[in-house]
């Protein structure tokens, strides 16, 4: 009997580990060979430029790209070089570089789950139930799964912030010496800043840990010792930063220029076209409606809010609360509110939600009345299942062919050759896209070249306005390849019928958008209602979903999420035909 239980237990842990790896690596080649993610594309281009053609010199590995630090680029270059040797091509190419960066993100996500599970155990009783719940919570986190599939910096940053939290908890619990804590914090903090300069805010974690220990530990660390410990952490971080991102110093002017540009976009002093979704949005309200519920899943989002107030108010849990605030606030009131800006705070918030579930389990084990225990167990089981469902559904995006590939297949099969098509600019790659789902002889035969029209500037340019009228008159088909333009210039939503999104908090925003972008609002209102003379003939989407035998059991439409949550890997595509 004991051997059987041990075997079942081993099988359960093995299944969870396999699930973790599967959710991070399945469909890692999504979208290839096209550059679907602009940040990923920029990093890939930087790595492709790190090549010596006329003998090696110190500038050979200069990426000439400073929006991010060099450590992820160096690692990506290393992985890509190994891949080129393995395939005997001995030349780095786009696909291999993308996969190398995504491999780094996927591995970082796997490690983050293990680190945060360890943190959850440190903050609770070390029981198999608690480890199981922690693993499940972090494995099935939608944001971990998505960022693991992006060859960008978010997964790496979440790993670094998780390690900093891990060592902070160890230090506060007196399970690690001050000298070791200073060493590890300095190194990890330096690597984080070398990944992305905005990670300087991660300094809040060692500052909080040392301050809490100084003023609450029975073996008090003196204020002087605490101060010099923080100085040592900063000094180590600077050394690591300089060593791992040396070209920031070698090309200081370009680095400063890049930082100035990135900060101006973030705070809104320069309003790039790709930030237009943030016009007239309300800080905090936007994030709590359009970012966190989708990134975390509603169950963990609600549990984390509850846990922020209900968890014990001891020094470790206070540190978690203050860390969440310290990592969230710097970006909370910025003009740009992309989901990726909050990647450092996601592990902490998920941890808080996880600890609430663990707290409920501990409570359940103490219930003596059988019927109450049974009801509590059922409710608790439903909560855990709800947490799992969001992550299970999100994996479907990468298990199926890219939605743009499926739309392109339909386009080549159903739209006549040389048809006049009006589409929209700034979607990274325009549809239709030749891909493995399509016979390439059909691609050449159809000769489809949609007009990629600039709807962002049409209201500011009379020539574009007249050109739009001409294009509408000539168009046989109209493509709306994502929500990027109509959702950001109006409060309209297309779902075969015209609908208005009028959340009470957005009333003034809707009115402002309609006044500032009357031409775009009128165009999409007429298109969606049919007044423009077109009808919707196809819609393609890849919402997170759970299927059984080809039938959708559960689906989570997420087009209302912050734009970048959907448009890079699963936009909704709408096709209209002249009546």
Q: In this predicted structure, what is the pLDDT of residue 510?
A: 82
Closest by Cα among 552, 557, 423, 429 to 493: 557
Q: In this predicted structure, what is the pLDDT of residue 200?
A: 95
* pLDDT tens, position by position, 432-459: 999 988 888 888 888 899 999 999 999 8
Q: What is the Cβ-side half-sphere exposure of residue 235, based on CA atoms within 13 angstroms?
A: 8
What would the mean pLDDT of 37-65 be, rounded to a whole number? 84
Q: What is the Cβ-side half-sphere exposure of residue 98, based on CA atoms within 13 angstroms?
A: 20
How many C-beta neighbours within 10 Å does residue 356 have?
22
* pLDDT tens, position by position, 56-83: 677 788 888 999 989 999 999 999 989 8
When mean pLDDT is compared across 31-35, 212-216, 289-293, 418-422, the lowest value belongs to 212-216
> Do 456 and 276 contact (CB within 8 A), yes or no?
yes
DSSP at 577: E
Question: What is the dihedral angle through the alpha carbons of 190, 194, 199, 205, rounded to the nearest 10 degrees?
Answer: -20
Q: How confident is the model at residue 503 (pLDDT cuts 50, 70, 90)?
A: low
Between 57 and 356, whose confidence is greater? 356
DSSP at 337: -
Q: In this predicted structure, what is the pLDDT of residue 7?
A: 77
Listing DSSP states for 481-537 in one string gives -SSTTHHHHSSEEESSSEEE---GGGHHHHHHHHHH-HHHHHHHHHHHHTTTSEEEE
What would the mean pLDDT of 361-388 be, rounded to a whole number? 82
H-helix segments, 245-345: 247-250, 252-267, 285-290, 292-296, 298-310, 315-332
Beta pairing class for 477-480 and 551-555: unpaired
Token pair of 126 as six digits: 């070390």
Q: In this predicted structure, what is the pLDDT of residue 34?
A: 95
Maximum alpha-carbon separation in the chain: 81
What span, in angstroms and rounded, lies between the C-alpha atoms of 103 and 108?
8
Asked whether the predicted pLDDT for residue 234 surpasses 50, the reply is yes
Q: What's the burial of 357, exposed, middle or buried (CB within 10 Å: 0-12/13-18/19+)? A: buried
> What own/partner pairs with CB < 8 Å and gap ≥ 24 does 171-178 have?
171/209, 171/210, 171/213, 172/209, 172/212, 172/213, 172/315, 172/316, 172/319, 173/122, 173/316, 174/217, 174/219, 175/122, 178/221, 178/225, 178/229
User: In this prediction, what percent of the chain has a pLDDT beyond 70?
Assistant: 95
Asked whether the predicted pLDDT for residue 536 surpasses 70, the reply is yes
- Mean pLDDT, the chain, integer: 90
Asked whether the predicted pLDDT for residue 404 surpasses 90, the reply is yes
Closest by Cα among 428, 425, 429, 432 to 467: 425
What would the mean pLDDT of 329-355 be, rounded to a whole number? 95
Go through 50-72 and write b for each residue having 16 or more CB atoms within 10 A of its CB, e for each that does not: beeeeeeeeeebbbebbbbbbbb
* pLDDT tens, position by position, 132-169: 999 999 999 999 999 999 999 999 999 999 999 999 99
Token pair of 248 as six digits: 């920031």
Q: What's the burial of 571, exposed, middle or buried (CB within 10 Å: 0-12/13-18/19+)? A: buried
Q: In this predicted structure, what is the pLDDT of residue 216?
A: 73
Beta pairing class for 477-480 and 421-424: parallel
Asked whether the predicted pLDDT for residue 505 surpasses 80, the reply is no
Q: Which range, 83-87, 184-188, 508-512, 527-531, is most confident?
A: 184-188
How much is the pTM?
Answer: 0.94
Q: In this predicted structure, what is the pLDDT of residue 307?
A: 96
Q: In this predicted structure, what is the pLDDT of residue 221?
A: 81
């Amino acid at each position: 009997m004991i051997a059987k239980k041990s075997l079942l237990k081993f099988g359960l842990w093995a299944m969870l580990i396999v699930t973790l790896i599967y959710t991070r690596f399945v469909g890692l080649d999504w979208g290839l060979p096209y550059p679907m993610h602009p940040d990923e594309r920029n990093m890939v281009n930087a790595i492709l430029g790190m090549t010596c053609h006329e003998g090696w010199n110190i500038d050979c590995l200069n990426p000439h790209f400073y929006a991010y630090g060099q450590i992820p680029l160096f690692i990506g270059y290393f992985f890509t070089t190994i891949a080129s040797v393995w395939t005997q091509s001995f030349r780095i190419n786009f696909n291999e570089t993308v996969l190398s960066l995504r491999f780094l993100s996927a591995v970082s996500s796997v490690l983050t789950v293990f680190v945060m599970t360890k943190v959850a155990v440190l903050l609770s009783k070390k029981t198999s139930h608690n480890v199981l719940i922690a693993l499940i919570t972090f494995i099935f986190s939608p944001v971990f799964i998505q960022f693991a599939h992006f060859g960008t910096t978010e997964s790496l940053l979440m790993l670094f912030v998780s390690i900093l939290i891990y060592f902070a908890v160890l230090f506060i619990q007196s399970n690690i010496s001050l000298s070791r804590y200073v060493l590890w914090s300095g190194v990890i903090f330096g690597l984080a800043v070398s990944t992305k300069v905005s990670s300087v805010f991660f300094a809040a974690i060692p500052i909080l840990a040392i301050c809490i220990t100084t003023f609450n530990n029975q073996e008090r660390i003196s204020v002087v010792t605490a101060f010099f410990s923080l100085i040592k952490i900063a000094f180590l971080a600077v050394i690591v930063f300089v060593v791992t991102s040396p070209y920031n110093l070698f090309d200081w002017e370009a680095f400063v220029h890049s930082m100035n540009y990135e900060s101006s976009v973030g705070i809104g002093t320069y309003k790039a076209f790709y930030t237009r979704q943030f016009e007239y949005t309300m800080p905090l309200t936007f994030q709590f409606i359009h970012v966190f519920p989708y990134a975390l899943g509603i169950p963990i989002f609600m549990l984390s809010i509850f846990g922020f107030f209900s968890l014990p108010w001891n020094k470790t849990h206070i540190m978690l609360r203050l860390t969440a605030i310290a990592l969230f606030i710097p970006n909370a009131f910025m003009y740009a509110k992309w989901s990726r800006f909050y990647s450092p705070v996601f592990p902490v918030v998920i941890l808080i939600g996880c600890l609430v579930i663990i707290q409920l389990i501990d409570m359940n084990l103490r219930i003596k009345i059988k019927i109450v225990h049974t009801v509590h167990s059922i409710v608790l089981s439903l909560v855990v299942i709800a947490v799992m469902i969001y992550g299970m559904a999100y994996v479907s995006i990468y298990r199926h062919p890219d939605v743009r590939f499926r739309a392109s297949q339909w386009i080549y099969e159903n739209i006549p050759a040389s048809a006049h098509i009006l589409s929209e600019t700034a979607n990274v790659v325009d549809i239709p896209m030749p891909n493995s789902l399509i016979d390439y002889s059909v691609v050449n035969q159809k000769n489809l070249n949609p007009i990629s029209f600039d709807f962002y500037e049409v209201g500011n340019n009379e020539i574009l306005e007249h050109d739009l009228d001409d294009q509408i008159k000539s168009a046989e088909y109209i493509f709306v390849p994502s929500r990027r333009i109509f959702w950001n210039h109006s409060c309209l939503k297309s779902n075969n019928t015209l609908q208005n999104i009028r959340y009470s908090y957005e009333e003034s925003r809707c009115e402002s958008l309609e006044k500032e972008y009357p031409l775009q609002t009128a165009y999409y209102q007429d298109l969606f209602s049919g007044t423009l003379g077109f009808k919707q003939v196809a819609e393609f989407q890849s919402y997170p979903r759970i299927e059984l035998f080809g039938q959708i059991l559960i689906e989570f439409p997420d087009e209302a999420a912050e734009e970048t949550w959907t448009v890079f890997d699963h936009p909704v595509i709408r096709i209209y035909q002249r009546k």
